[in-house]
Amino acid sequence: MKHTIEVNGIKIYAFHGCLPEEGEIGGHYSVDVMLNTNFKEAAHTDELKKTVDYVDVNRIVCEEMAIRSKLIEHVGQRIINRLKSEIDTIDFIKLKVTKICPPINGDVDNVAIIIEE
């Protein structure tokens, strides 16, 4: 049996980027997290401790996004590493980090990275 939990559209203002201005001005980001886990027992018992707590997922994402990186690839991997180390019931993670209105000299809505582990 496959169980999936998604925490989508975590909106964050952060300071990632290679340009010095990005470290000073910052920008808008959105993070989506998909976790495969087994929440069969939680579904039967109605106990939060038997599943992944969305609050923990949001907290980890926000804490890692608060640490400046040049690349969203780097911050994305840090998020994955923290989720895996702090939530031991995760079988698979899909993470998407979206940088909204990136400064790339073009009319681009966003850029994103996706990591699946």
Q: Residues 80-97: pLDDT tens digits?
A: 999 999 999 999 999 999
Beta bridge partners of 31: 10, 97
Residue 1 has pLDDT above 80, yes or no: no
Q: How far is CA 12 from CA 33, 41, 89, 94, 105, in A?
A: 14, 32, 26, 18, 23
* Residue 105: per-residue pLDDT: 87
Q: Residues 47-89: pLDDT tens digits?
A: 999 999 999 999 999 999 999 999 999 999 999 999 999 999 9
Among residues 11, 70, 84, 99, which one is catalytic?
A: 99
* Residue 53: per-residue pLDDT: 97
Total number of domains constituting the chain: 1
* Domain coverage including residue 36: 3-116
* Average pLDDT taken over every residue of the chain: 96
* Residue 66: per-residue pLDDT: 98
Indicate if 70 belongs to the active site.
Answer: no
What CATH number does the domain containing 21 carry? 3.30.1130.10
